[in-house]
C-alpha cells in the first residue's frame, strides 16, 4: 500500500470500524457529505479495499480495537500520493491527546471521542477534505469527573471490598489459558492507585516481590475513557504511544488488551487486563467474550461489596417490606432468584410487560424474557437478558419496545445476595422523553414537518445518494403569497392555520420518495430525488393548483409562489437551493401564484 499512486476513484471514504452500530453512524455521516463509504472491519480488509479502489479521499479509523493497528495504517495511508487525511476515533483521552500531538507525522485531520455525534463527524470530514471547518484539539478529561467518580465509589464501599471469592481467581485462570496470554489480571482504580484484585499466569518479569502484577497503567486509561469501550494493542513494539513503556522496552510485554469493569449505572471501577510477551491477536468474537467476562468480574465485586455491610437477618429477608417500598415507584423493578424465580416485582413492571399485576407471581426469568421478546426486535438484548442468573454479572443497556407510541428504556441489572444464592436486581428507566427531545430538534411543532435542520439533513442524504448513483435531484422553494397581510388582518391564529394547511397540501402533492420541510416562517422546501427541472415544475404546478383550489380560510383565497432548480453534481445543496430561491422571487415579480 505505501507509495501506491492514486487511481480514478477519489470520492470514497475508508471506514475502519468493527462495531456495526458505530460503522452505521460513520457511513451515514460520510454519505451526508457526498462520499461513497467503504467499510473494513480490520487492517487486512482496509488494505484490500485500497488495493482494489486506490487512494481514499479520507480515512476514519479507531486506534485500538481488535485487528486494527490504527497508527500503522495511518502511516501507510500517509505514504499515498497525496497523503490520505485521517480522522482518528478513540475512547481513551490519553490516546486522543497523543494522536493530536502526532497529527503532522500521521496526517491526522481530526481527533474524535468514540461517543460520536453525526454532526461532529461531518464537521471532521469537511475539515479533512478542506471544505471548511477548523481542526480542534481534543478536550482533556475534567478532573472534577474523576473526583466525583472516586467519591461515588467510596460511598458505595467499593474500595474497601475484600478480595472476591475464588470465582474471580478462576476467571483469571480461564482468561490466561483460553487466550494463551502470559498474564491475566483484574484491578480497580481508587483515583489514586491501582489495586490488583486477582491474577493468573504472572510471568517473573511482570511480578512484584509480593507476587502481584507490576502496574502497567492500563487501568488508569479506563478511568478517563468512554464507558464500555475495550482497548486492544496487537503489538506495542515501535508503537508511537506505548513503545516507550518500560515493560515494552524491556521486552516483557508486546501485546495487551483491557476491558472495563463497570457498576450497573455505568461507573468505571477498573479493568480486566491481558498482557503478553508476543503480539496478541484477538478477534471481534474474543472481544465480545472478554466483555462478558468483565461483566462477570463486576458482578463478583458487587457481591463482595454487599458482604461488607450485611444487614441484620430481619431486614435481609423482609422482602415483603421491600415490596412495599417499590410498590409505588413509577420505575419498574424486578428481583430474580438464582434459579430464575421472580421473587419481587412492582406494578410498574406489570405495566411494562402488559400483564395483570396478579399474574406476576406466576412469572420467572424465562417467561419475562418471552414477554419482552414480543415487545422488541432487539434479539441481542433478549439473549443477554436470558443469561442471568446463575452467574453474577453487571449489565446496562438501552432497548426500544413496541407500542403507541414506542418507548425507549434503559435497563440495568446487578447481582444481589439472597439466602439461596446470587440473584439479580433489575431496574428500568423510561428515557423516551430524552429521545423525543432529540427528535423534536429536527421537527417543526406547527406543521409536524421537518424543520430547517431536519430539511438540511434530508438534503445531505439525498445528495449523497444522487452522487453515488449519478441521478438528478431537484428543489422547490415555496412561499405563501401576501402572508403578512393574513397575519395583520386575520390574526396569528389564522396565519398558523394557513401554514398548517399549506404544509399538509405540500405533503399530499409529493411522492413517497420526496421530502418536505418548513424552511422558515411561511416558506417551505421540497426535495425531489430522481427528478430533473421539468419534472420538478410538473410537481410544483400540481401543488400550486391544489393550494389555489383549496379552502384554507373562509375569508381569503390562499396562493403560493414556487421556484424550482435542479442540483448540479458536485455543488453543495445551498447553491442549488439558492437558485430555486432566485426563481421564487422571479415568480413573485411576475405576479405571484405561479411556478418559475
Q: Answer yes or no: do 82 and 103 share one domain.
A: yes
Least confident of 186-200, 204-218, 226-240, 581-595: 204-218
Classify residue 135: in a domain, yes or no.
no
Mean pLDDT to the nearest integer, 113-132: 84
CA angle (451, 456, 457) in 5-degree steps: 100
Give the model's pLDDT for residue 152.
61
Domain final residue pick, 308, 341, 367:
308
Least confident of 287-301, 302-316, 339-353, 488-502: 302-316
Mean pLDDT to the nearest integer, 503-532: 92
Higher pLDDT, 517 or 403: 517
Return d(Cα 322, Cα 335) in angstroms, integer.
11
Q: Answer yes or no: do 279 and 321 share one domain.
A: no
Does this model's pTM top 0.85?
Answer: no
Number of other CB atoms surrounding residue 44 within 10 Å: 11
Classify residue 439: in a domain, yes or no.
no
Domain final residue pick, 129, 153, 185:
129
Question: What are the grid coordinates assigned to 158, written together?
Answer: 467499593
Q: Answer yes or no: do 221 and 278 share one domain.
A: yes
Q: Answer yes or no: do 44 and 88 share one domain.
A: yes
Q: Answer yes or no: do 112 and 178 share one domain.
A: no
Mean pLDDT to the nearest integer, 400-415: 89
Beta bridge partners of 391: none
Render pLDDT for 563-584 as a digit per residue (tens, 0 to 9). 999 999 888 888 999 999 999 9
Q: Answer yes or no: do 406 and 497 share one domain.
A: no
Domain count, the chain: 4
Classify residue 2: in a domain, yes or no.
no
Return d(Cα 342, Cα 202) in angstroms, integer.
42
Higher pLDDT, 408 or 417: 408
Domain final residue pick, 129, 154, 172:
129
Q: Answer yes or no: do 583 and 480 share one domain.
A: yes
Place 372 in a pLDDT band, splitting at 50, 70 and 90: very high
Give the model's pLDDT for residue 419.
81
Give the model's pLDDT for residue 526.
96
Give the model's pLDDT for residue 315.
42
Classify residue 154: in a domain, yes or no.
yes
Give the model's pLDDT for residue 176.
94
CA angle (557, 523, 587) in 5-degree steps: 70
Give the H/E segment covering residue 562. strand 560-566
| Domain residue limits at 486 | 444-589
Beta bridge partners of 422: 417
Q: Answer yes or no: do 321 and 304 share one domain.
A: no
Q: Answer yes or no: do 503 and 367 share one domain.
A: no
The CATH number given to whatever domain includes residue 155 is 3.30.450.40
Return d(Cα 52, Cα 55) in angstroms, integer.
9
147 pLDDT more than 70: no
Q: Answer yes or no: do 285 and 330 share one domain.
A: no
Q: Answer yes or no: do 470 and 552 share one domain.
A: yes
Classify residue 136: in a domain, yes or no.
no
Higher pLDDT, 435 or 548: 548
Q: Answer yes or no: do 161 and 304 share one domain.
A: yes
Give the model's pLDDT for residue 148.
65
Question: What are the grid coordinates assigned to 475, written together?
Answer: 428543489
330 pLDDT more than 50: yes
Classify residue 134: in a domain, yes or no.
no
Residue with cell 490466561: 176
Place 318 in a pLDDT band, splitting at 50, 70 and 90: very low
Classify residue 93: in a domain, yes or no.
yes
214 pLDDT more than 80: no
The CATH number given to whatever domain includes residue 49 is 3.40.50.2300
Classify residue 137: in a domain, yes or no.
no
The b-or-e profile of 354-387 (16+ CB within 10 A means b, else e) is ebeeeebeebebeebbeebbebbebeebbebbee
Return d(Cα 492, Cα 390) in angstroms, integer.
63
The CATH number given to whatever domain includes residue 418 is 3.30.450.20
Amino acid at each position: 500500500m505505501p507509495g501506491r499512486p492514486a487511481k480514478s476513484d477519489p470520492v470514497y471514504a475508508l471506514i475502519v470500524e468493527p462495531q456495526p452500530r458505530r460503522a452505521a453512524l460513520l457511513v451515514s455521516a460520510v454519505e451526508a457529505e457526498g462520499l461513497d463509504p467503504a467499510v473494513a472491519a480490520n487492517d487486512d480488509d482496509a488494505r484490500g479495499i485500497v488495493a482494489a479502489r486506490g487512494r481514499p479521499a479520507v480515512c476514519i479509523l479507531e486506534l485500538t480495537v481488535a485487528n486494527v493497528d490504527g497508527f500503522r495504517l495511518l502511516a501507510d495511508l500517509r505514504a499515498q500520493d497525496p497523503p490520505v487525511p485521517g480522522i482518528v476515533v478513540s475512547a481513551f483521552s490519553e490516546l486522543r491527546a497523543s494522536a493530536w500531538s502526532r497529527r503532522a507525522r500521521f496526517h491526522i485531520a481530526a481527533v474524535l471521542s468514540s461517543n460520536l455525534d453525526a454532526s461532529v463527524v461531518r464537521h471532521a470530514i469537511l475539515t479533512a477534505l478542506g471544505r471548511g471547518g477548523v481542526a480542534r484539539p481534543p478536550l482533556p478529561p475534567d478532573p472534577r469527573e474523576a473526583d466525583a467518580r472516586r467519591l461515588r465509589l467510596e460511598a458505595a464501599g467499593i474500595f474497601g471490598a475484600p478480595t472476591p471469592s475464588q470465582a474471580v481467581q478462576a476467571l483469571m485462570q480461564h482468561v490466561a489459558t483460553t487466550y494463551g496470554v502470559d498474564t491475566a489480571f483484574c484491578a480497580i482504580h481508587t483515583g489514586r492507585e491501582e489495586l490488583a484484585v486477582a491474577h493468573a499466569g504472572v510471568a517473573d518479569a511482570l511480578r512484584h516481590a509480593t507476587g502481584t502484577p507490576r502496574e502497567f497503567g492500563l487501568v488508569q486509561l479506563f478511568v478517563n475513557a468512554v464507558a464500555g469501550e475495550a482497548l486492544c494493542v496487537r503489538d506495542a513494539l515501535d508503537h508511537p504511544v506505548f513503545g516507550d513503556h518500560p515493560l515494552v522496552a524491556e521486552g516483557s510485554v508486546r501485546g495487551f488488551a483491557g476491558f472495563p469493569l463497570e457498576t450497573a449505572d455505568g461507573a468505571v471501577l477498573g479493568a480486566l487486563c491481558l498482557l503478553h510477551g508476543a503480539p496478541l491477536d484477538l478477534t471481534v468474537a474474543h472481544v465480545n467474550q472478554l466483555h462478558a467476562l468483565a461483566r462477570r468480574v463486576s458482578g463478583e465485586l458487587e457481591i463482595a461489596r454487599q458482604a461488607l455491610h450485611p444487614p441484620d437477618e430481619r431486614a435481609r429477608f423482609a422482602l415483603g417490606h421491600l415490596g412495599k417500598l417499590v410498590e409505588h415507584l413509577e420505575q419498574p423493578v424486578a428481583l430474580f432468584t438464582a434459579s430464575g424465580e421472580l421473587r419481587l416485582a412492582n406494578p410498574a413492571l406489570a405495566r411494562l410487560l402488559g400483564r395483570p399485576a396478579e399474574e406476576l407471581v406466576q412469572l420467572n426469568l424465562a417467561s419475562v424474557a418471552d414477554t419482552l421478546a414480543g415487545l422488541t426486535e432487539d434479539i441481542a438484548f433478549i439473549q443477554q437478558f436470558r443469561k442471568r442468573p446463575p452467574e453474577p454479572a453487571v449489565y446496562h443497556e438501552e432497548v426500544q419496545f413496541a407500542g403507541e407510541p414506542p418507548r425507549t428504556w434503559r435497563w440495568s441489572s446487578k447481582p444481589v445476595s439472597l439466602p439461596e444464592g446470587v440473584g439479580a436486581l433489575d431496574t428500568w428507566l423510561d428515557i423516551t422523553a430524552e429521545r423525543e427531545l432529540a427528535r423534536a430538534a429536527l421537527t417543526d411543532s406547527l406543521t409536524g414537518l421537518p424543520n430547517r435542520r431536519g430539511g438540511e439533513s434530508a438534503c445531505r442524504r439525498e445528495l449523497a445518494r444522487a452522487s453515488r448513483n449519478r441521478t438528478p435531484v431537484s428543489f422547490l422553494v415555496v412561499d405563501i403569497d401576501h402572508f403578512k397581510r393574513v397575519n395583520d388582518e386575520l390574526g396569528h391564529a389564522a396565519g398558523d392555520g394557513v401554514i398548517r394547511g399549506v404544509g399538509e397540501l405540500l405533503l399530499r402533492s409529493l411522492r413517497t420518495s420526496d421530502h418536505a420541510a418548513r424552511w422558515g416562517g411561511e416558506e417551505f422546501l421540497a426535495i425531489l430525488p430522481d427528478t430533473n427541472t421539468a419534472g420538478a415544475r410538473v410537481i410544483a404546478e400540481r401543488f400550486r393548483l391544489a393550494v389555489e383550489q383549496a379552502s384554507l380560510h373562509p375569508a381569503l383565497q390562499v396562493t403560493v409562489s414556487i421556484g424550482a432548480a435542479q442540483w448540479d453534481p458536485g455543488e453543495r445543496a445551498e447553491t442549488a437551493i439558492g437558485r430555486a430561491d432566485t426563481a421564487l422571487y422571479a415568480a413573485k415579480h411576475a405576479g405571484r401564484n405561479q411556478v418559475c
